[in-house]
Amino acid sequence: MKDTTSVKKSKKQFKKKSIRKTGARLTVYALEKLPVRHTFGIPGVHVTELYDELSRSKKIRPVLVTHEAGAAFMADALSRTTDHIGVLVIVPAAGVTHAMSGIGEAFLAGIPMLVISGGVRRDCRHAYQLHDLDLQHLMEPITKQSYLIRSHQDIVSTLFEAYSVAVSGEPGPVFVEIPADILLFKGDAGHLPAGGPVVPLPPAPDRQLIHTAANLLRQARKPGMFLGWGSRDCPQYSMRLAELLQAPVATTLQGLSVFPANHPLHTGMGFSNAAVPAAENAFAGCDCLLAAGTRFSEIPTGGYGVKVPENLIHIDINPMVFHKNYTAKVAIEAEAGAALQALLENLQTSPPTICRQAIESRIASDKLQYLESWRSYRTDKINPALFFDSLRKQLASDAITIADDGNHTFLCAELLTNIKSKHFISPSDFNCMGYCVPAVIGAKLANPGKTVVGIVGDGGFLMTCMEILTASTENLGVVYFVFYDGELAQIAQGQKISYNRKTCTIIGKIGIEGVADAVGATYLNLKNNEQIDGIITQALAFSKKNMPVIVDVKIDYSKRTRFTRGVVNTVSSRFPLGEKVRFIGRALMRKATG
């Protein structure tokens, strides 16, 4: 027989704990239980109550942006460079659609993000409300999960679940819509948990698969390693494995920093004919490839031009990536760190006996020869290699460098030495121009003690340059190096190769000094190679005075990167024969006739 007295007593105690709060207060309560320090967005009528509650928080600081796309890029960069999660607080409809570029970037890059939007009132019988749009269906394709809050009691538990989903497995953005009436008015909050969310542990690597993979690596004559963003938290294991195997290491674009570029076994981004010679040569004849935290996407594979051996060991937290582009002999679902550690421990019990010390000197020689080919290339504009040489010397090892999407991205990949994991970031598979300017702001807010610099092309700069006003308002000492050549250079170079003409890739004249004046930034003009050291020194000095700096870099893009040349060749080689002849013939005819 049940003890009805104790049941009545527990119900009475629960009723005492149940309290009435506005949805806005409950939202902030939940966020304060999460690793959240900043929110990004623009207030609007649907979220004014939530912004008022955020202004009262002692833990979370709301940051006003000039455009919601900038808010999303800031949140993305914060998540990439810290253990906190980037959070958006935006209005429905236009606020959400503006932010979708940054949300899509985070989705394809596997970056955790919490997107909180107001919603139209559900207590109103009227149709055609302001910002009335089906947000749930809109956000479904570019988020891991989408939630619609229906009661005050759902808010805290839903936000906790949303955070758990965002950071579990392959991370990504999660969307939560909270109707305006729930945010504005008080309701029964139910029982408020004292603790935070429970995040499920990732699966442990399968021991038998680890053993099989280790044996493949032991038997390999020329093993290689290919690392992506999923390997960002375990450089200690990847370095020790590479040294044990004497294996060259290539990375993806997003993973450029996950293995130190000053390590003697580091080769560069990718290993196809679109990679630098050090990588292409080191991976020639590779008979066993250990790939961790990568999806073998288009950019790092040079347009799917890499030669992957039959003995492919593929490690990823997301099992959906296995066998998509290249079939794996061994597929291990696990976090890269856990799997690489297990592989290392297994291999150490019976280490490989093949000695390949000569590979390090070959990599070093190839790297030096390639860099010298750039350093010796001179015109009356800024030599990219000399610029990156000086920048690397003047930046601390823990400085954060952020690139936009464009020709400069691949110059960074080929010429900039990235040393510390998660200290170089850029857009990757979504490949969104306009990322750099706001991302620098998000990274600096999250890492106030570190130097943060951006490398951005003039086209990408035009998309989000007004966001530097946010940096000025927040007194952020950041530096933007704007590579100004007057073209959308990456596409323009591809057009020149394929069509022998450039269409809609020539930019109008930009008064970058006027932009600096408009947003309250210091302006510096870098016109020739002799000025490189001095201008970079000045820019970094100004940034230490808590002011944003824009450096107008008259860059020389006339020498093409290996990536540009290699990708064009790889992609065109797969054209049907007739189409290939047509393209080549047309380009030759245009070249002959001008």
B/e letters for 267-276, b = 16+ CB within 10 Å, e = fewer, are bbbbbbbbbb
Nearest to 117 by CA among 85, 146, 154, 75: 146
Q: Catalogue the E-assigned strands of 318-459.
A: 330-333, 400-403, 424-425, 452-457
Each residue of 60-103: pLDDT tens digit? 999 999 999 999 999 999 999 999 999 999 999 999 999 999 99
Task: Please give the pLDDT value at position 2.
Answer: 39
Who's near 443: CB < 8 A, 6+ residues apart?
77, 78, 80, 81, 400, 402, 425, 452
Question: Does pLDDT of 481 surpass 50?
Answer: yes
Return d(Cα 148, Cα 506) in angstroms, integer: 44
Question: Does pLDDT of 7 surpass 50?
Answer: no
Measured CA to CA in angstroms, residue 116 lies from 30, 150, 273 at distances of: 12, 14, 43
Burial of 533 (0-12, 13-18, 19+ CB in 10 A): middle
- Identify whether the C-beta of residue 201 lies closer than 8 Å to the C-beta of residue 168: no
Half-sphere exposure of 172 (CA within 13 A, CB side): 21
Each residue of 113-155: pLDDT tens digit? 999 999 988 888 888 887 788 999 999 999 999 999 999 999 9
CATH T-level fold of 377-563? Rossmann fold (3.40.50)
327: helix, coil or strand?
coil
Domain span(s) for CATH 3.40.50.1220 in the chain = 207-358
Burial of 39 (0-12, 13-18, 19+ CB in 10 A): buried
- Identify whether the C-beta of residue 492 lies closer than 8 Å to the C-beta of residue 473: no
Return d(Cα 375, Cα 526) in angstroms, integer: 17
Kindly compute the dihedral angle of the four CA atoms of residues 235, 236, 239, 240, in this order, to the nearest 10 degrees.
Answer: -150
Single pTM value for the model: 0.93
- Identify whether the C-beta of residue 459 lies closer than 8 Å to the C-beta of residue 488: yes
Section 299-327 average pLDDT: 97
Which residues are bridge partners to 428 per DSSP? none
Question: Does pLDDT of 275 surpass 70?
Answer: yes
CATH T-level fold of 19-190? Rossmann fold (3.40.50)
Task: Please give the pLDDT value at position 355.
Answer: 65
Task: Please give the pLDDT value at position 114.
Answer: 98
Each residue of 167-187: pLDDT tens digit? 999 999 999 999 999 999 999
Question: Does pLDDT of 17 surpass 60?
Answer: no
Return d(Cα 64, Cα 66) in angstroms, integer: 7
Task: Please give the pLDDT value at position 580.
Answer: 79
Task: Please give the pLDDT value at position 8.
Answer: 41
DSSP string spanning 533-548? Answer: HHHHHHHHHHHTTT--
Task: Please give the pLDDT value at position 498.
Answer: 77
Task: Please give the pLDDT value at position 12.
Answer: 44
Return d(Cα 494, Cα 502) in angstroms, integer: 9
Task: Please give the pLDDT value at position 534.
Answer: 98
Give percent of the chain above pLDDT 90: 83
Each residue of 213-243: pLDDT tens digit? 999 999 999 999 999 999 999 999 999 999 9
- Identify whether the C-beta of residue 427 lies closer than 8 Å to the C-beta of residue 435: yes
The length of the chain, given as a count of residues? 594
Give percent of the chain above pLDDT 70: 96
Each residue of 502-549: pLDDT tens digit? 889 889 899 999 999 999 999 999 999 999 999 999 999 999 999 999
Task: Please give the pLDDT value at position 568.
Answer: 85
Averaged confidence pLDDT in the chain: 93
Domain span(s) for CATH 3.40.50.970 in the chain = 19-190, 377-563
Measured CA to CA in angstroms, residue 140 lies from 25, 53, 136, 313, 528 at distances of: 27, 28, 6, 32, 49
- State the CATH class of domain 207-358: alpha beta
Question: Does pLDDT of 13 surpass 70?
Answer: no
Question: Does pLDDT of 9 surpass 80?
Answer: no
Question: Does pLDDT of 5 surpass 80?
Answer: no
357 confidence band (pLDDT: 50, 70, 90):
low
18 confidence band (pLDDT: 50, 70, 90):
low
Question: Does pLDDT of 464 surpass 90?
Answer: yes
Section 353-363 average pLDDT: 82
